[in-house]
Structure 1
Amino acid sequence: MPKPFQFNANDIKIEKRETVFQGFFRLDKLWLTHPRFDGREMPIFTRELFIRGDATCVIPYDPARDEVVLLEQFRLGALGRDQSPWLLELVAGMNEDGESPEEVARREGQEEAGLTFSRLEKVCDYLVSPGGTTEMVHLYCGQVSTAGAGGLFGIEHEHEDIRAHVVSTDEAIAMIQDGRINNAAAIIAIQWLQLNHDRLRREWSA
């Protein structure tokens, strides 16, 4: 059997591309073809692509107190589900032109939770939903002190309304196990923290 990744971006042939919506985000329609695994050429087909910039997310962690900070806010995409559309999430923000993910992490830590990260450790980069959007998330764990953390934050003219909660690491893990936390960035970060918990407490508390 051939190994994975026998094809790359050069194997894609885009016959036509047009922007069908331009607002805060952009939606493009593409007509394209590419080789198939069986050696044939895929007939030309269409796909809609949601053009969205990259984002950076951070789980704030205090190794001394073994606590994390999670942000509660309304999310339109969760409306209509059998749950509250107010979700518990990470510190997060869209990457602006010329900003590094680390710069976004530090900016959003201040704006969304009043937190300053003494260090940042990369967790991973992941594609949010590559079947239909371009967005990549850069995910970090950031060291903070949770003493005095929590409260109300957000930029009012951007219609942000955020409550920061301080919870134990064990409680955060329990919330992904029972489904109270069901967004990808938070699940990935909390599970990563669970795997790296002992190392971080040892190294970051030194």
Structure 2
Amino acid sequence: MPKPFQFSASDVNIEKRETVFQGFFRMDKLWLTHPRFDGGVMPTFTRELFIRGDATCVLPYDPVRDEVVLLEQFRLGALGRAQSPWLLELVAGMNEAGESPEEVAQREAQEEAGLSFGRLDKICDYLVSPGGTTEMIHLYCGLVSTEEAGGVFGVEHEHEDILSHVVSADECFAMIADGRINNAAAIIAVQWLQLNRDRLRQEWRV
């Protein structure tokens, strides 16, 4: 059997591309072909692609108090499901041109939670939903003190209304298990914390 990744981006032939919607985000329609695993070529087909910039997400963690900060805010994409559309999430923001993920992390921590990260540990980069969008998430865990954390935050002109919660690490793990936290970035970060919690409590307690 062949090994993975026998094809690359250069093997994709985009015959035509047009923008079908341009608003806060952009939607393109593509006509394309690419090689098949059986040695043939895929007939020309069309796909719509949601053009969305990369984002940075951070789980704030205090290793001394063994607590995390979670942000609660309204999310339109959760409306219409059998749950509240107010979700528990990480500190997060879109990467602006010329910004590093670490710079985004610090900016958003201040705007969304009144926090400053003393350290950022990289968890991973992952594609959100590559079947239809270009977005990549840069995911971190950040060192904070939760002693005075919590409260209402957000940027008014961006229509943000964010409630910052301080919860124990154990309670946060329980929220993953029972589904109270059900968005990908938070799930990945919290499960990473479960695996790395003891190490962080040793390395970060200085």
**TM-score higher than 0.5 here?**
yes
Structure 2 Cα separation of the partners of residues 200 and 25 of structure 1:
37
How much has 1:69 moved relative to structure 2? 0.1
Using structure 2 for the length normalisation, give the TM-score: 1.00
- Match of 1:111, SS state, is helix
Mapping 1:103-114, distance limit 5 Å: 103-114=103-114
Give 1:93's aligned residue: 93
Residue type at the aligned position of 1:46:
T
Give 1:122's aligned residue: 122
- 1:195 and 2:195 correspond: yes
Structure 2 Cα separation of the partners of residues 77 and 9 of structure 1:
31
Percent identical residues: 83
Give 1:83's aligned residue: 83
Give 2:133's aligned residue: 133
Using structure 1 for the length normalisation, give the TM-score: 1.00
Structure 1 Cα separation of the partners of residues 106 and 156 of structure 2:
19
Mapping 1:51-66, distance limit 5 Å: 51-66=51-66
Give 2:28's aligned residue: 28
Structure 1 Cα separation of the partners of residues 33 and 168 of structure 2:
49
Query: Cα deviation per residue 1:138-173 (whole Å; 9 max; x = unaligned)?
Result: 000000000010000001111000000000000010
Structure 2 Cα separation of the partners of residues 55 and 61 of structure 1:
20
How much has 1:70 moved relative to structure 2? 0.1
Structure 1 Cα separation of the partners of residues 3 and 50 of structure 2:
30
Give 2:145's aligned residue: 145
How much has 1:122 moved relative to structure 2? 0.3
- 1:154 and 2:160 correspond: no
- 1:6 and 2:40 correspond: no
- Match of 2:124, SS state, is strand
Give 2:184's aligned residue: 184
- Match of 2:49, SS state, is strand
Residue type at the aligned position of 2:76:
L
How much has 1:65 moved relative to structure 2? 0.3
Residue type at the aligned position of 2:149:
A
- Match of 1:172, SS state, is helix
How much has 1:77 moved relative to structure 2? 0.1
How much has 1:72 moved relative to structure 2? 0.1
Residue type at the aligned position of 1:133:
T
Residue type at the aligned position of 2:44:
I
Structure 2 Cα separation of the partners of residues 90 and 17 of structure 1:
35
Task: Flag structure 2 segments of 5+ consecutive residues without an equivalent.
Answer: none
Task: Flag structure 1 segments of 5+ consecutive residues without an equivalent.
Answer: none
Give 1:38's aligned residue: 38
Structure 2 Cα separation of the partners of residues 86 and 157 of structure 1:
19
Runs of 4+ in 1 over 6 A off after TM superposition: none
Structure 2 Cα separation of the partners of residues 91 and 138 of structure 1:
12
